[in-house]
Each structure stands twice: as C-alpha cells, then as structure tokens.
Amino acid sequence: MIDHYLDDKVELYEFLEQVNYALSLEFKEKWRHKYSDTFIGIFQDRIINSLSTQKPIKLSSIKSLYVKKHKYDPKIVTEFITNIEIDLYYPLIYRDANYV
C-alpha cells in the first residue's frame, strides 16, 4: 500500500515538474528559435488557462487554436506537438478522438 502511494507521489511530482518546465523561460528559450516567441507564448498561455480553470486541454483544441485562430501551418503545429513530447503532459493535455 505504501509503495503504491509513493509511486503515485513520484508520478505527480514528475508531472508537476514537466508542467513547470513548460512554463519556464528555459522552455521558451529552447523552442523560440524554431517556432517563435509568440508560438511558445500561445502554448504557455493555454497551459496557464487550463490550470486556472481546472479543465484539461484536448489536443485537438490546441491544434485548432494554432491553425484556425493564429493561422499557423498544421504541419508546424504537429511537429511542435511531437518535438515537445506532448504525452508527458497527460492528464493536463490529452489526445482526443478529434485530434488528427
């Protein structure tokens, strides 16, 4: 029972570290040269919004935000999602049936 509790605690810690990294200047500096400050800022704002509303983010809504609202090329958005290993942000960000 205690081992299971510790495993859950470690997973939660690692998840929070990943979210903290995504919101950091280090993350922005790493990716801004490839995608731009604005592009990274959109992602960071979406994470902050999700945390403040306590609602998880559908991956399809992230792609839609970039492509439809901000007019980014879908290939660039998909590349970004792959490069940052978006699955590391689960359950905050999750793959849904509408994500293609």
pLDDT reading at 3 higher than 60: no
Please report where in the chains the tokens 């793959």 appear, as a residue: 95
Band the pLDDT of 26: cuts 50, 70, 90.
very high
Q: Specify which residues 93 forms β-bridges with.
A: 57
What separation in angstroms does the CA of 7 have from each of 14, 31, 85?
11, 31, 22
Answering whether pTM is above 0.75, one says yes
Report residue 2's pLDDT band, with 50, 70 and 90 as the boundaries.
Answer: low
The predicted-structure confidence for 53-98, as pLDDT tens digits, reads as follows: 999 999 999 999 999 999 999 999 999 999 999 999 998 999 988 8
Left (φ > 0), alpha (ψ -120 to 50) or beta: where does 7 sit?
alpha
pLDDT value of position 4: 53
Instruction: For 33-60, write each residue's pLDDT tens digit.
Output: 999 999 999 999 999 999 999 999 999 9
Predicted pLDDT of residue 13: 84
